[in-house]
Structures are given as structure tokens and as C-alpha cells.
Amino acid sequence: MEASPGTKWRPLLLLLLAVIPGTFLTGSRHTCPSRCRCLSQDKVVFCNGRNLTAVPGRIPPDSELLDLSQNVLRTLQQGMFSRLQALKELDLSYNALSNIEPGAFNSLKRLMTLRLTGNKLKMVPSGVFTGLPSLAVLDISENEIVLFQDHSFKDLSSLRKLEAGDNHLIFVSSQAFSGLQSLRQLTLEKCNLTGVPTEALSHLRHLVELRLKVLSIGSVPDHSFQKLHRLKVLEIHRWPSLTALRPHSLAGLNLTALSITRCSLREVPYKAIHHLVHLRFLDLSHNPISVLRGRKLAELSRLQEFHLTGGRLATVQAHAFHGLVHFRVLNLSGNGLRTLEEGAFHSVGNLEVLRLDGNPLACDCRLLWIIRRQRRLNFEARQPVCATNSTGEGKVFRKFSDILPGHITCRKPTIEKETPPQRLSVEEGGRAMLTCKGDGDPPPTISWVSPHNVSLDASRKGRLAVLPNGTLRIHHAFPQDGGAYLCVARNAAGNDTMWAHLRVFSNFSVRVNASALNASSAALPFLLDVGTLAGILAIGIVPFLCSVAICFVFISLWNKGRGTAKHHIINAVPRYSRGYKAVTNRHKRVANKPR
């Protein structure tokens, strides 16, 4: 039986359909838009970069991914995606969208990812994201959004990740994030916020990761994140005005990872982070921090990684990592360190990764522990290099792999001692300088112990301070500062000590003695200074005032006693004395004489 013409050409027709670009390869009954590329097996439609001004028709309704990025779409009308109810991902990035009508996404019940990056949106009106009950990822970064109004995202109860960086954002309303019950990740980046939106963030009770990048915020107020009890990761990046954290700025948080990078922190924020007992990762890179202080991180007992790269770190004090029993990774590359002593660690047994490259390290016995452990330590292919030798003379650019333990030696410090021992007397209120010079290899550090058993070193600031040359300076000396001071010179090879004695005499006793010794001198009033004269006057005035007061009391008592005595004297005159009797008789005769 001869085949019909239609039957004869059917195989050729199917072959042509299979190779024509823009058609589904599995024989779908729906054709692909002429300017798009469709993969029916994956249910994917690519219409990106086609200079489209509207959403093309004839998109297969069972498509799960639609890419409309890099076109010139300007507005999205209500119901324009009503045929695409199977969509799970919609990419509208890098168009010219400036208006999205409420209800534009109404029918996309299964949509999980919506990308609106790089458009011209200025507002996020309430109701724009209605009809998206399954949306988990929303990216509205790189737009021109100025503010987030109340309830802008109220319908996105399933949203888990919100990217909102690189906008003109200047204000976040207190109710802007209400309704985001499932949000886990939030990024606010490159916008004009000048303060942490504390009230808005308080609605994100399930937030796990918060990233605040490239902002002009100069301070983090106390309790800024107090209601984010489930937050685990906080990243603060490139805040050039941030110089310090307030003690309670991170109160209420229970972080496992904290990054504060490329800011202007001058000190490790010990007080702000001490309560983060579950912290495992801490990054303070690219901050002008100059010293890591001893025993200040001990409460972060679970800390495993610490990064401080590209800063001004010059000193890691003894016991800087004391208490960190799980410490594995330390990255201090790109700083100004000359050494890192084993005494800085709780234990070097758990240390796995150590980065010290980019530091002007001195090759002396303080680094001997690293040389001995270099085969067990991971330098991440960037071995430390010794910039100077043990005496600091000349350059010896050598990798640690080229140095053997026997090449490094140390010399115990010695102090130049005076004979007899140093004794200094100063007047109360004056300044005392106790000198102590130590020599050793490596150069020793100088510290002092006061008569009250208080340790004084170069890190201490105040009235008693140790100068860089080892001298102990005491401003405005008091009598209680007197006593024996112990100077201690230490390096990795040992230590040496020296005693110095200080006597502080009182100003008062000195001036009294001076006035007594020179009382016979006629020129005394002209030789005394103002302070001495004031002391002498004070000494004379006090007894004078006491004498006046005593005289006043006696005179008062005498006056009272005098009035009483006068009355008794009159009453004690003899009633019948001769004189008195004659006078009385005379008065009687005068009185009885007839007139």
C-alpha cells in the first residue's frame, strides 16, 4: 500500500522541528517565543539580553524558570504572569523597571525566587508582593529605593533571604519588616542610613544572618540588636566613621561569627564582645588596632578563629589568647609585628593555621617555637619571612623553611646596676624618674613592681608610667609612693632584676624646718617664697584665733558673773551699821517735821 504524501514527509518535518532554535526539544505542544531559548526538559526559558520592552507571549505555561534579565522592561501590570502558575524562579534583573502594580505577581503561588536587581524602583508600596506565599528569596538591590514604608513586605511570610543593598535608602520605618516571620538572612549595603534601624530589626525574631555593609554609621548604640536572639552571624563592613563599640551595643546577641572589617576601630572591643561565649569566628581585619592585650579574650572560650589582617598591630601581649582551648586558626598577616611569643597562647598544641606573612619579623628565639613546629603548622602557602636578624642590624629576608633551630640563639637580659643602689628623694608634688636599662638578645621588655606589689609596664597609662626606655616616671609624687621599687627585664631567655628606692618628703615639714633654721636672719622676709610665707602665716593665725576665741568665752562668763555678784554685794551691806543708822534717823526727822 502506498504511503500518503503527509505520511511520507512526516519524519522530515519532525527532524526540522527538532533542530530549529527556540523550540522545546521534547515535542511539547507549546512553542517557544521567537526571541527566547527554551529547554523543555529543564522547563527553563531564557529571554535575557534580547532588548525586550514587554513580557513575550507563548511562554510554555509549565515553565519553572524564566529569565528576563538585561532587557528594557519599564513596568509590570497586574496579572501579566497569570498564565505562568508553575514558575519557581523569575529573574527581572537589570531592566528599567520603575513601576510595579500591586497584584503583578498574584498568580505565582509557587514562585520561590524573585530577582529585581539593577532596576529603577524608588518605592516598595504595600501590596506589591501579594500573591507570593512561597517566595523564599527576594533581591531588590541596586535600585533607587529611598525608604521602606510600614508593611512593605507584610505578605512574604515564607521569605528567608532579603537582599536590599546598594539603594538610596535613608530611612527604614519601624514596621517595615513586620510580617517577615521566616526571614533568616538580611543584607543592607551601600545606602545612606546614618543609624542602625533597631525598631525595624526587632520584628525579625528568626533572623540568623545580618550584613550591614558600606554605611556611614558612626556608632552602634547600646542594645541595638537586643531582640535578635537567634542571630548567629553579624557582619559590619566598611564603616569608616566607626571608631569604637559601646559596652552594651551587642547586648542580647548570642553570635557564633562576628566580623567588623575595614572600619576605624583603635581597640579590640573587649567589653562589647565578652558575653559572646559561643563565638567561634572573629574577624577584625583592616582596623588600626595596635595591640592585643593579655587575658582579655578569656571569656570567649569557644573561639576557634581570629583574623586581624592589614592593620597596625605591633604587640601581642603575653596571655593574649589565654583561655582559648579550642583555638585553631590565627591570621595576623600584613601588620607591624616583630615577634609572636609562645606565651601569648593558652596552648599551641591545637593551633593548625598560622599566618604571619607581611610582618617585619625579627629572627630570634622568641620565634623558635614556630621554627620547631613549622612542619605541623599550615602557613597556607605563605611562609613567614624574617625581615631582620636578632639584633635588628641589616636585612636577612629568609623564609622559616630555611632556618634551623640551631641557627637561633638568645642572650639573657642584664641590667646596668648602680653601686650603691639607686636612691632618689623628691619633694611631695614633684616628679620622680627611676631609671632602668637592660640589655639582651632579643632586647628585653622592662617592667616595674611598686612597693604595693602593683605591676607597671609600658601599657599602663596614668600618674605612674613606664617610658619606652624603661624609666619609671611618677607624676606628682605622694608620700605613699615612697618605698622600694623592683625593675624586671625579661626576654625569651630569662630575666634580671634591680632595686631602686624612692623617698617622698612632705612640703610642710620642709618649710617649717627652713623657717626655724633661718629665724635669726634679718633678710628672712625677703628670701621666703610665697608658699613659705603662706605656711608661716597659717601657723601663726591658727593659735591667734584660738586665743581670741578663749578670751571671748572668758569675758562672756565674767560679764554674766559680774551682774550676779553686784546684787549679792548690795544685799550683804550691814543693815545696822553706824553710818547707815545715822542716815536713817535723819531721814525720819525730816519726814516727821511739820510743814
Closest CA to 105 of 125, 132, 134: 132
Contact 315, 336 (CB under 8 A): no
C-alpha cell belonging to residue 384: 613567614
Name the band, by pLDDT with cuts 50, 70 and 90, for residue 573. very low
C-alpha cell belonging to residue 541: 593665725
Name the band, by pLDDT with cuts 50, 70 and 90, for residue 23. very low
Highest mean pLDDT among 95-104, 365-374, 410-419, 525-534: 95-104
Q: What sign results for the dihedral spanned by CA atoms 127, 128, 131, 137?
A: negative
Name the band, by pLDDT with cuts 50, 70 and 90, for residue 403. confident
Q: Note the pLDDT of residue 68.
A: 96
Share of the chain above pLDDT 90, in %: 61
Of residues 362 and 248, the one with the higher pLDDT is 248
Share of the chain above pLDDT 70, in %: 79
3-class SS of residue 362: strand
Q: Note the pLDDT of residue 419.
A: 79
pLDDT beyond 90 at 229:
yes
Q: Note the pLDDT of residue 374.
A: 86
pLDDT beyond 60 at 192:
yes
**Which residues have C-beta within 8 Å of that of residue 413, sequence separation ≥ 6?**
438, 439, 440, 444, 489, 490, 491, 493, 494, 495, 496
Q: Note the pLDDT of residue 75.
A: 94
Name the band, by pLDDT with cuts 50, 70 and 90, for residue 534. low
Closest CA to 481 of 499, 461, 465, 464: 464
Q: Pairing between strand 422-427 and 494-505? A: parallel
Give the up-direction half-sphere exposure of residue 23: CA atoms within 13 A in the CB hemisphere: 13
Q: Note the pLDDT of residue 418.
A: 82
pLDDT beyond 90 at 107:
no
Q: Where are the beta strands (DSSP E) in 363-436?
A: 385-388, 395-399, 411-415, 422-427, 432-434
Residue 580: CB atoms within 10 A of its CB come to: 11
3-class SS of residue 512: helix
pLDDT beyond 90 at 493:
no
Least confident of 397-401, 458-462, 529-533: 529-533
Q: Note the pLDDT of residue 569.
A: 40
**Which value, to the nearest 10 degrees, does the dihedral of the CA atoms of residues 426, 427, 431, 432 take?**
20
The pLDDT tens digits of the residues spanning 292-323 come to 999 999 999 999 999 999 999 999 999 999 99
Summarize the chain as % helix, strand, coil (round to 5): 20, 20, 60
Domains of the chain and CATH, by start: 290-409 (3.80.10.10), 411-508 (2.60.40.10)
C-alpha cell belonging to residue 229: 536572639
pLDDT beyond 80 at 512:
no
The pLDDT tens digits of the residues spanning 544-565 come to 677 767 777 777 776 666 554 4
Burial (CB count <10 Å: 0-12, 13-18, 19+), residue 313: buried
Of residues 261 and 391, the one with the higher pLDDT is 261
pLDDT beyond 50 at 494:
yes
Q: How far apart are CA 176 and CA 201, in angstroms?
A: 9
Q: Note the pLDDT of residue 454.
A: 92
Highest mean pLDDT among 17-31, 244-258, 531-545: 244-258
The pLDDT tens digits of the residues spanning 264-301 come to 999 999 999 999 999 999 999 999 999 999 999 999 99
CA end-to-end span of the chain, whole Å?
A: 199
Q: Note the pLDDT of residue 540.
A: 60
Name the band, by pLDDT with cuts 50, 70 and 90, for residue 371. confident
Q: What is the mean pLDDT of the chain?
A: 84
**Which residues have C-beta within 8 Å of that of residue 585, sequence separation ≥ 6?**
none
Would you say the pTM of this structure is higher than 0.75? no
Helix and strand totals (H; E) in the chain:
8, 34
Q: Note the pLDDT of residue 345.
A: 95
Q: Give the phi and the psi of residue 158 in degrees, each rounded to 5.
A: -100, 0
Q: How far apart are CA 513 and CA 226, in angstroms?
A: 65
Q: Note the pLDDT of residue 417.
A: 86
> How large is the average pLDDT for residues 232-252?
96
